[in-house]
Amino acid sequence: MTEPKAINGARFIAESFKGYGVTHVFFVDAMLRKAMVDLEELGIRRVVTHSEKAAAYMADGYARISGRAGVCMAQSVGAANLAAGLQDAFLASSPVIALTGKKPPLWQYRNSYQEINHWPMFEPVTKYNADVVTPEQLPYLLRQAFREAVSGKPGPVHLDMVGREARELEISPILAGVTVDEHFVQTPPFRPAPDADAVQDAVHAIASAQRPIIVAGGGVRISGAAAEIVALAEKCQIPVATSVDGKGSIPETHPLSLGVVGNYSAWCANKAVCEADLVIYIGSATGDQTTNSWKVPAIGTKIVQIDIDPAELGRNYPNTISVLGDAKITLQHLLAALEPASGNADWLARTRQLVADWLAEVNPLRFSAETPIRPERICKELTEALPENGILVTDTGYSAIWAATMLGITQPTQTFIRAAGSLGWGFPASLGAKCAAPDRPVICFTGDGGFWYHFAELETARRHNIHTVTVVNNNNGFSQGIEDVHKMYGDRPGDPTELYRFEKISFAQIARDMGCFGIRVETPAEIAPAIQQALAANAPAVVEVMTDFSARVPPPWAPQ
């Protein structure tokens, strides 16, 4: 019997990445330096970033757009920074694989230079967290990392590899051949079908409801179920709201679209969901953001919840008909079982009127000619400028609220992703998104507060020819917390502006100095031409829009 030919660990890792469809790895030197040579030979791009958090954010953006595992890495001393960067991927159920180095067991617990225990840092932000101490473990654990990352409810995984740079594993012989589980190359690897009785319970509830509403969550994007959402809405004439992560599940120009519901919301969506007698959650975790702290809808409202994770079913709304299954497959079962319906004419008229009233209220701001520029006007221009196959990436905070409420995803071929909570995520995530989809235009919408975090990655983008457009809503400060800051001060003396004001710096000039395209916009009429120039530029581009510091998003509507 012929013994299998051994390859070293570095080659094993590189060939495994290639087999699982990895096209880019994002990291801060030094990690797996020997494997880096093999990665280049196999055609995998090695993207050295300026911080471990940015590497994690890029891997996250890459994973969300590609549906494949995004890979990020750091040596032992950078592990804490990498762990911090995984929070967003964890909250957004994004399949990211984080690899770190650690000193050998004999070095542990002996005050080794730069070494701390990594396991507790990664445990809260991963679904799988394992040590790779011996070469024999590498084939099993690396294979399992890909399986865990994309399966069920996707999420980040972490392998802590022996050696500060994992050199011990790189030079060790690996006897096991490279095995690629084809099912686990992309999300979702499997599409579990729902129980027939649960489907019938959901069908009965939908057919019996007088004022039903669909709420589409981020699980719809992960499952690729947007077409089924629209089909269900049209077949039964059910209005559709989305979570922020589910934005784009239905074109927002569709007559059944209500917009985003919850905290980062249009009030028309919140009012409609509160008036519904049945809310159908699809791929949504029903957290506080989507429900405006569980007030929209009220506890006790009848719920149908469809989710691939059984732990989510009925978690926050006990009055729930639970349907366990992949969103796309479950919706297909529902479509097959439901009879076409014309809907409740009064309910449809009511929800459309709510949307019309909301638009009448906000359109003066979206079309405003004021200077400094209103953020709502940026969103209107971005809606019109986003190409048919464009990807829009937004940061958290005000950027996410403006985008969720005022910026429309109007084509089923457009994609929207946003930070799940980490300010500064947007720009590096957009670079990862572009790596995953090099032939699609990628626009990042962020504020100056978010862009400051990782603007150094403009150099990374220039070095690797990652041509994204970053639209910076620049008001020279953190504006989201101003009202609360002044409330805390009250009548006390002092300078509250120290808590939210920045120096007046030109990001457009910084971009130009770094070899990128940069343009500064100071009047509303300049926005559209600037975005078009940026999209046409053969370089990473920054469009800096000078906006009104006093602009505030309205508080989310909730019932008294």
Instruction: Please compute, for residue 400, the number of CA atoms within 13 A of its CA located in the half-sphere on the CB side.
Output: 27
C-alpha distances (whole Å) from 434 to each of 16, 441, 539 are 23, 8, 13
Q: Look at the domain 367-546 and name its fold.
A: Rossmann fold (3.40.50)
Amino acid at 350: R
Q: Look at the domain 196-353 and name its fold.
A: Rossmann fold (3.40.50)
**How much is the pLDDT for 507?**
98
Q: Among candidates 230, 544, 216, which has minimal Cα distance to 372?
A: 544
Instruction: Give residues with Cβ within 8 angstroms of 369, minimum separation 6.
Output: 524, 525
**How much is the pLDDT for 105?**
87
**How much is the pLDDT for 1?**
43
C-alpha distances (whole Å) from 505 to each of 127, 446, 452, 518 are 40, 16, 10, 13
What is the distance between the alpha carbons of residues 450 and 424, in angstroms, rounded to a whole number?
A: 4
Dihedrals phi, psi of 447, to nearest 5 degrees: -95, 170
C-alpha distances (whole Å) from 341 to each of 77, 238, 335, 506 are 60, 9, 12, 55
Q: Among candidates 280, 258, 279, which has minimal Cα distance to 267?
A: 258
**How much is the pLDDT for 4?**
60
Output helix, strand, coil percentages for the chain, rounded to the nearest 5: 45, 20, 40
Instruction: Please compute, for residue 554, the number of CA atoms within 13 A of its CA located in the half-sphere on the CB side.
Output: 15
What is the distance between the alpha carbons of residues 498 and 337, in angstroms, rounded to a whole number?
A: 60
User: Strand pairing partners for 123?
Assistant: none
Three-state DSSP state, 425? coil
- Ranges for all domains in the chain classified under CATH 3.40.50.970: 7-185, 367-546
CB of 13 within 8 A of CB of 159? no
Q: What is the CATH number of domain 7-185?
A: 3.40.50.970
Q: What is the DSSP string of 498-513?
A: GGTB-----HHHHHHH
Report the chain (560 residues): mean pLDDT per 10 consecutive residues. 76 98 97 98 98 98 98 96 98 98 89 91 98 96 98 97 94 93 96 98 98 98 98 98 98 98 97 98 96 97 98 94 98 98 97 98 97 98 98 96 97 97 97 98 98 98 98 94 93 95 96 98 98 97 96 93
What is the distance between the alpha carbons of residues 54 and 399, in angstroms, rounded to a whole number?
A: 18
Which segments within 295-414 are labelled E, that is strand? 303-307, 320-324, 391-394
**How much is the pLDDT for 3?**
56
Cut 0.95: pTM above it = yes
What is the distance between the alpha carbons of residues 57 and 427, in angstroms, rounded to a whole number?
A: 9
Which tokens in the block code for residue 126?
């991963």
